Amino acid sequence: MHREETVLAVGMAEAARRLGVSPRTVATLVSRRQLASRKVGRRRIIPVVALEAFVGRDSSDLSQDHNTVRHPSGDF
């Protein structure tokens, strides 16, 4: 029996695909701290909950203070 796995975080390319933007745009959002991420070895991963929170944010929030979308537990 195959068990469905829940993906907790994705790489930059997958984050870009899910958001419908370029990987460069995702990198810019991460560098501006508008999208939470975590470095794991050489790889940078983005929590799926951070992607969902980013999409749900009001666009006026994005231009103010470079707010960071944080993981609810604060781990990311």
pLDDT digits (tens, 9 = 90+) for 1-56: 566 689 999 999 999 999 999 999 999 999 999 999 999 999 999 999 999 999 99
The three-point CA angle 19-44-68 to 5° equals: 65
Asked whether residue 64 carries a pLDDT value surpassing 70, the answer given is: no
Model pTM score: 0.71
Q: How far is CA 75 from CA 13, 25, 41, 51, 57, in A?
A: 22, 23, 16, 15, 20
